Amino acid sequence: MKVFCSTLIHETSRQSPIPTDLDSFREAFLYVPTSGEGSHWCAQNLDGVDWTEILKEQGHEAAYGLLAGAQPSRPISSKTWKYLLNEIRASLRAAMPVDFVALSLHGAQVAEDVDDCAGEVLATIRVLVGPDIPVGAVLDLHGNMSERMMENADILLSCLEYPHVDTPDRARQLVELLATQARGKIRSTMARRRVPMLGTYYTTRSPMREFVDWAKSFEDRVNILAVSVTHGFPKADVADCMAQVIVCADGDPAGARRVADEIADRYFSLRDAINPSPLSSDAAVTEALKARSGPVVIADIADNPGGGAGGDSTHLLRALLRAGARDCALGMIWDPVAADFAAKAGIGARLPLRIGGKTGAAAGTPVDFVAQVIDASDNAAQQAQGMTAPLGRAALVEANGIKVVLNSVRQQVFDPACFETLGVVLSACRIVVVKSRQHFYERFGTIASRVIYADTACDESGDHNLALTKIARPIYPLDNPPFDAYGRRWG
Ligand SMILES: [Zn+2]
């Protein structure tokens, strides 16, 4: 079958200091079908989805639409959004007729004047292909699912794991279901349940681990095609920011609703147990220093570029310095100027450096120290969700027994390569601080003697002012249950 496939990934944070334009997509990946720009991105794994591989495996022919992804940042400029949407429209028109449409979308993408970009993409496609061509999307579990998305898709399917290690399998599952629907063998019907709560739910920890396994097991039931449990992304600040459950069933709307209700009930009942309590910077360092063996990995969850943060906050660096901790590594501080100074000074040089604290108040103030340049690279890179992700000019500098990785292409830490390619021996470190909320866990979980989550928003100097104005209320933990929402009582 001929399949129109397209990828559009952006997790939007209204609190991010980083603007988003077309160059933001060029920095990560951008294939523009009408001009052919970036055609090398076709046939590659992009944020966990390689359309060429998946469609080939299942015997389909790929018709490529737009492929675009950018690091999380502020709402996309109106001009860029119109351009991207027009590319999807034009490439689909050129590809038609197609047997079905398979998309990889984030679900928490916001443009300056559009709160629900995924809904707009799906609605645009539905208008073009009509009601009978199956349309589906694989989504990030941090997406904020909307009614418009539901109305314009046959199958919506999120990853279930955080870190999102199951995205490739979920994309395969999506294509299988869409192809089966295109052959007329199933008729998908979907139910969505909004679960009025927000939080960070690590599927690597109990009881979220057991809950996700239990929810997924419903897919073994007759007629249940797919179960999605999403977490939502609060910083997108739209009405649908919240945890949700989406169930696809074969011609059984009542069955889909029943399963969605059962999963939503249990999800809400776990709201306290699945939400971890991170430590402040100082408490995290104190706790880490108690460990008998290293490396203890401290995740700087507030300054996660993967959630739109600047990646240059200095709170944890200051906490290490205050504690007099030595044999530590911290990465990556996004500071193209400091990385450039260090690289130009050269390996072995000692120089005064002003590090970080530039992108906004949440980043804290810069740290000044005289540092030694241990290593430098003009094209450092890491593996990130199946892709080789460039880090730009990068340097490893050391002062007071703390090694700091400076980089030039803003990105969260996914991979020990962020440190190791610059010569850090992680096993010799007492503490390794990574700027990432959870994706680091895939590759650091096995080498860490212990993982500690630190939220610098708990620090006095951190950003407490999460001003969310559009999120529907009531919602836990901003409101305390019991309360009424979505036609029922929660409590
Ligand atoms: Zn995510």
Cα–Cα distance for residue pair 364/319, rounded to 1 Å: 12
Model confidence band, residue 464 (pLDDT cutoffs 50, 70, 90): very low
407-446 pLDDT per residue, tens: 999 999 999 999 999 999 999 999 999 999 999 999 999 9
CA of 437 to the centre of ligand 1 (A): 10
Close Cβ partners of 41 (under 8 Å, ≥ 6 residues apart): 29, 30, 31, 67
Contact (CB, 8 A) for 118 and 107 = yes
Give mean pLDDT, residues 120-130: 98
pTM of structure = 0.94
CA of 160 to the centre of ligand 1 (A): 10
Average pLDDT over the chain reads: 96
Given this model, what pLDDT does residue 397 score?
A: 98
Using the predicted structure, report yes or no on whether residue 465 has a pLDDT greater than 50: no
CA-to-CA dists, residue 441 to 71, 273, 426, 434, angstroms: 19, 20, 15, 10
Using the predicted structure, report yes or no on whether residue 108 has a pLDDT greater than 50: yes
Contact (CB, 8 A) for 57 and 172 = yes
Using the predicted structure, report yes or no on whether residue 179 has a pLDDT greater than 90: yes
Given this model, what pLDDT does residue 277 score?
A: 86
Using the predicted structure, report yes or no on whether residue 104 has a pLDDT greater than 60: yes
Given this model, what pLDDT does residue 466 score?
A: 58
CA of 289 to the centre of ligand 1 (A): 30
Using the predicted structure, report yes or no on whether residue 461 has a pLDDT greater than 90: no
Q: How many CA atoms lie within 13 A of 50 on its CB side?
A: 13
**Phi first, then psi: what are they for 42, rounded to 5°?**
-65, 150
222-239 pLDDT per residue, tens: 999 999 999 999 999 999
Contact (CB, 8 A) for 383 and 414 = yes
Give mean pLDDT, residues 37-52: 96
CA-to-CA dists, residue 98 to 5, 50, 92, 103, 128, angstroms: 10, 19, 9, 13, 11
CA of 397 to the centre of ligand 1 (A): 31
Model confidence band, residue 456 (pLDDT cutoffs 50, 70, 90): confident
Contact (CB, 8 A) for 355 and 342 = no
Cα–Cα distance for residue pair 391/383, rounded to 1 Å: 10
CA-to-CA dists, residue 297 to 209, 308, 322, angstroms: 21, 21, 18
262-306 pLDDT per residue, tens: 999 999 999 999 988 899 999 999 999 999 999 999 999 999 999
CA of 170 to the centre of ligand 1 (A): 14
Given this model, what pLDDT does residue 462 score?
A: 38
User: What is residue 361's three-state secondary structure?
Assistant: helix
CA of 13 to the centre of ligand 1 (A): 12
Model confidence band, residue 467 (pLDDT cutoffs 50, 70, 90): confident
Cα–Cα distance for residue pair 435/316, rounded to 1 Å: 10
Using the predicted structure, report yes or no on whether residue 459 has a pLDDT greater than 80: no
- Percent of the chain whose predicted confidence (pLDDT) is above 70: 98
Given this model, what pLDDT does residue 458 score?
A: 61
Given this model, what pLDDT does residue 463 score?
A: 42
CA of 140 to the centre of ligand 1 (A): 5
Contact (CB, 8 A) for 380 and 408 = no
Give mean pLDDT, residues 237-258: 97
CA of 164 to the centre of ligand 1 (A): 7
Model confidence band, residue 393 (pLDDT cutoffs 50, 70, 90): very high
The CA-to-CA distance between both ends of the chain, in Å, stands at 48
